[in-house]
Amino acid sequence: MERLWAFIREKIPFAMTGLVATGINYGVYLLLVDRVLPPGPATVIAYSSSVLLNFVLQRYFVFELNRSVRSAFALSMLVSAFGLLIDWAIVVGLHKFPLLGEEEWIIKLAATGIVFFYNFYAKRRVFEGKRGQSVARTQVQGEVEESCEIPLPTTGGSSVAHPEPKKPLLNPSPEERGSKKR
């Protein structure tokens, strides 16, 4: 239950800033698709209109910036472009289903829900870099330190052990076979 709460809690600021950007996305989309453009171009314009605002909000309220603003902006736009492609494909694809063809809000909701998770993980990587490296490194170091607590055998005053190499047991000798049976 604690892991579930942590999973949800880390997405709340992203969801709040995303809600603002999504409001713009939805508003522009519904305005354009009802009056001016077909769904495909309306999706492109609506999605694009929310991307810049979303970058600014995420930079200041969601993620810790661990790279230059220019680099983060370029990568964020790349992530957003791929998100746009996903969004567009879902919207255009769902219009082919007769039951959903006229329900613009349901189609857009489905696309937005799927793109939300893609955007969260991709943008977190853009702003913060690889996540969990230091945690994983600390855990591995702890395991190595624990394993080093067992004294190693030494030979000839050397601090490094040189164990005798073991013979492969592909073709064991009769004595070796006999000792295994006991």
Residue ranges of domains in the chain: 2-130
* Sole residue written with tokens 């004595």: 175
DSSP 1: -
Q: Given this model, what pLDDT does residue 96 score?
A: 82
Taking the C-alpha atoms of residue 152 and residue 143, their distance in angstroms, rounded to an integer, is 16
* Sole residue written with tokens 């937005």: 112
Nearest residue to 46 via CA among 72, 28, 21: 28
Straight-line distance from the first to the last Cα atom of the chain, in angstroms, rounded to the nearest whole number: 51
pLDDT in tens, 47-82: 888 888 889 898 888 888 888 999 999 999 999 999
Q: What is the model's pTM?
A: 0.57
Q: Given this model, what pLDDT does residue 49 score?
A: 84
Q: Given this model, what pLDDT does residue 156 score?
A: 52
Q: Given this model, what pLDDT does residue 86 score?
A: 93
Identity of the residue numbered 150: I
Q: Given this model, what pLDDT does residue 173 score?
A: 58
Cα dihedral 177, 178, 179, 180, rounded to 10, equals: 50
Q: Given this model, what pLDDT does residue 172 score?
A: 55
- Show the low-confidence residues of the chain (pLDDT under 50): 134-150, 152, 158-162, 169, 182
